[in-house]
């Protein structure tokens, strides 16, 4: 993805909206099981997915942007045309390879710590989103629309945090690990606990969590190759 430092605010908002819409639709289709499930459920899941993606993905990327700018860097969100196609295409088959775009940062003066803090800002935003909807989940009547919404938002938020904290370039985790190992492994430990909570709240079991972790590792490696233009 070629960085364009002259991107206008209006254009950036359009690109964020495109990524938000694509990821919302993709999550709705994937959660419905894709062509192997019931695509009719995707329509019902669409509003929930919109809330989850907007709070978990968009805020995650904007936090990267604002922290980077705080350190004097130039930062802007940019979509990836191929990433948008991959995001929507994979969801049809009931899984998701979500790479609609990312916050691209340009600076020649970042220290290792500044790079690590900027990278950690995104996953920390996911922690905050998880905490808010965990409270909603606790107090919402069981088996209602609000409890389902809360559990799905928790699930998507912490899933995005886990994926981004994998120690593989160009993901956030590789930069956090380079900066501070204690912070990295502490954050990853919290993520694993929250993933267990999210899985249990949504699926009433954590049996599928190991499979999900392995799948996300595979996706992260593929994404790294995609990023490095190997594919």
Q: pLDDT tens digits, residue range 35-61?
A: 888 888 889 899 999 999 999 999 999
Of 6-15, 17-26, 100-109, minimum mean pLDDT range: 6-15
Whether the CB-CB separation of 2 and 76 falls below 8 Å is answered with no
Whether the CB-CB separation of 223 and 216 falls below 8 Å is answered with no
* Active-site residue, from 11, 12, 61, 212: 61
Q: How far, in Å, are 42, 86, 111 from residue 99 at the CA level?
A: 20, 7, 27
- For the chain, give every domain's residue range: 9-227
Q: What are phi and psi of 78, to 5 degrees?
A: -135, 135
Told to judge if 212 belongs to the known catalytic residues of this protein, a careful annotator would answer no
Q: What is the pTM of this model?
A: 0.88
Q: Which pLDDT score is estimated for 230?
A: 40
State pLDDT tens for residues 115-152: 999 999 999 999 999 999 999 999 988 888 899 999 99
State pLDDT tens for residues 175-211: 999 999 999 999 999 999 999 999 888 877 777 777 7
Nearest to residue 73, comparing CAs of 116, 113, 122, 106?
106
């Amino acid at each position: 993805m070629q960085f364009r430092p002259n991107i206008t605010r209006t254009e950036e908002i359009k690109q964020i909206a495109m990524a938000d819409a694509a990821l919302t639709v993709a999550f709705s289709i994937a959660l419905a099981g894709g062509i192997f499930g019931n695509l009719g459920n995707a329509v019902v899941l669409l509003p929930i997915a919109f809330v989850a993606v907007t709070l978990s993905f968009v805020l995650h990327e904007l936090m990267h942007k604002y922290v980077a700018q705080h350190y004097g860097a130039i930062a802007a969100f940019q979509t990836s045309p191929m990433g948008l196609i991959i995001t929507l295409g994979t969801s049809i088959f009931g899984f998701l390879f979500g790479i609609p775009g990312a916050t691209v940062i340009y600076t020649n003066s970042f220290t290792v710590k500044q790079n690590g803090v900027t990278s950690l800002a995104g996953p920390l935003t996911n922690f905050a989103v998880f905490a808010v909807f965990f409270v909603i989940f606790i107090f919402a009547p069981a088996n209602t629309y609000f409890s389902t919404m809360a559990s799905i938002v928790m699930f998507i938020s912490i899933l995005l945090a886990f994926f981004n904290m994998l120690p593989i370039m160009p993901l956030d985790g590789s930069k956090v690990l380079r900066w501070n190992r204690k912070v990295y492994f502490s954050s990853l430990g919290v993520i694993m606990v929250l993933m267990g909570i999210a899985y249990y709240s949504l699926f009433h079991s954590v049996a599928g969590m190991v499979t999900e972790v392995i799948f996300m590792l595979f996706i992260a490696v593929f994404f790294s190759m995609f990023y490095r233009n190997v594919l």
